[in-house]
């Protein structure tokens, strides 16, 4: 069963739902459902092994997984994008920023699958959305917000629903362990800090991170804390 959060957003997947532990504490991601009525939209989709559990959660909510029209990927890392090809084969359109789209088509090092000792299933077809591009789905408008730093391709998806700006930020805020990410090829601390400072200039109303709990108000506190963690962690 999914967990209702704010507005049309539900948590339908994550490490504690499906008990898929890839590499504690960096782990299977939160998968969110935007239930705008028709169609349904997923934000990230987990590593792949957890997909049956995610779909079962939808069924327990009385929803038909065949009504999922799109999955938006925040970046190419395996815990976020590993199930994308499986969803695509079942008729779901995979949407990502341009760099993520290229990375999941290639299925190479940018997916960080090596980090989890897994193989990434390449995604045959991806719809790329450019930075700042918007799409309206049901009662929500979804905008592509570049959030580079954690990885070069990181793209947040800001959904404006019922008057609230809700940012699905992947690993740009509340990343499980910043020092551990430094061994990844496309981690860039300076860019990461600039991304966080940009978010502080105009913080969203709600933050839905790729891991851990959610920030349902006063998101500037979480963003500032992430920045402190980043700048205060010895290189
Ligand atoms: Zn990541």
Cα 59 to ligand 1 centroid, rounded to whole Å: 28
Average pLDDT of the segment spanning 153-163: 95
By the CB criterion, residues less than 5 angstroms from ion ligand 1 are: 77, 171
Ligand 1 centroid to residue 105 C-alpha, Å: 17
For residue 180, the model assigns a pLDDT of 55
How many angstroms does the Cα of residue 151 sit away from the middle of ligand 1? Answer: 7
Q: What is the pTM of this model?
A: 0.94
Q: Where are the alpha helices (DSSP H) in 46-188?
A: 51-60, 78-81, 84-89, 98-106, 178-181
Q: Taking a C-beta distance cutoff of 8 angstroms, is the pair 160, 36 a contact?
A: no
Least-confidence region, from 26-40, 125-139, 153-167 = 26-40
Task: State pLDDT tens for residues 64-88.
Answer: 999 999 999 999 999 999 999 999 9
Instruction: Please tell me which residue, 112 or 105, carries the higher pLDDT value.
Output: 105
- How far apart are the CA of 62 and the centre of ligand 1, in A? 31
Cα 110 to ligand 1 centre (Å)? 10
Domain count, the chain: 1
Report the CATH number that the domain containing residue 98 is assigned in CATH: 3.60.15.10
Q: How far is residue 166's CA from residue 195's CA, in Å, rounded to a whole number?
A: 17
Angle at 63 between CA 122 and CA 49, to 5 degrees: 30
Non-local (6+) Cβ contacts of 207 within 8 A are 166, 167, 169, 173, 174, 214, 215, 219, 222, 223
Q: What's the 77 CA to ligand 1 centre distance in angstroms? A: 5
pLDDT band at 184 (very low <50, low <70, confident <90, very high): low
d(CA 100, CA 204): 23
Q: Domain limits at 15? A: 3-232
Q: How far is the CA of 76 from the centre of ligand 1 (A)?
A: 8
- Which of 30-39, 98-107, 135-144, 225-234 is predicted with the least confidence, judged by mean pLDDT? 225-234
Distance 220 CA to ligand 1 centre (A): 21
Q: Quote the ligand 1 centre to 78 CA distance (angstroms).
A: 8
104 touches 76 (CB < 8 A): yes
211 CA distance to ligand 1 middle (Å): 9
pLDDT band (50, 70, 90) for residue 23: low
For residue 37, pLDDT over 90 is answered with no
């Amino acid at each position: 069963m999914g967990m209702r959060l704010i507005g049309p957003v539900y948590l339908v997947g994550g490490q504690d739902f499906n008990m898929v532990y890839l590499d504690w504490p960096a782990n299977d991601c939160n998968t969110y459902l935007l239930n705008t009525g028709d169609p349904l939209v997923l934000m990230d989709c987990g590593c792949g092994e957890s997909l049956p559990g995610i779909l079962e959660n939808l069924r327990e909510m009385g929803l038909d997984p065949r009504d999922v029209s799109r999955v938006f990927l925040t970046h190419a890392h395996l815990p976020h994008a590993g199930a994308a090809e499986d969803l695509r084969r079942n008729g779901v359109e995979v949407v990502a920023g341009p760099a993520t789209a290229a990375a999941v088509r290639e299925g190479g090092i940018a997916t960080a699958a090596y980090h989890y000792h897994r193989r990434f299933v390449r995604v045959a077809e991806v719809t790329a959305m450019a930075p700042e591009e918007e799409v309206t789905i049901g009662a929500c408008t979804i905008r592509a917000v570049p959030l580079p730093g954690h990885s070069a391709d990181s793209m947040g998806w800001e959904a404006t629903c019922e008057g609230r700006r809700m940012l699905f930020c992947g690993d740009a805020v509340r990343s499980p362990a910043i020092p551990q990410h430094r061994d990844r090829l496309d981690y860039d601390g300076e860019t990461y800090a600039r991304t966080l400072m940009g978010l502080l200039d105009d913080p969203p109303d709600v933050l839905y991170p790729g891991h851990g709990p959610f920030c349902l108000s006063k998101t500037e506190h979480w963003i500032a804390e992430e920045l402190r963690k980043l700048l205060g962690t010895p290189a």
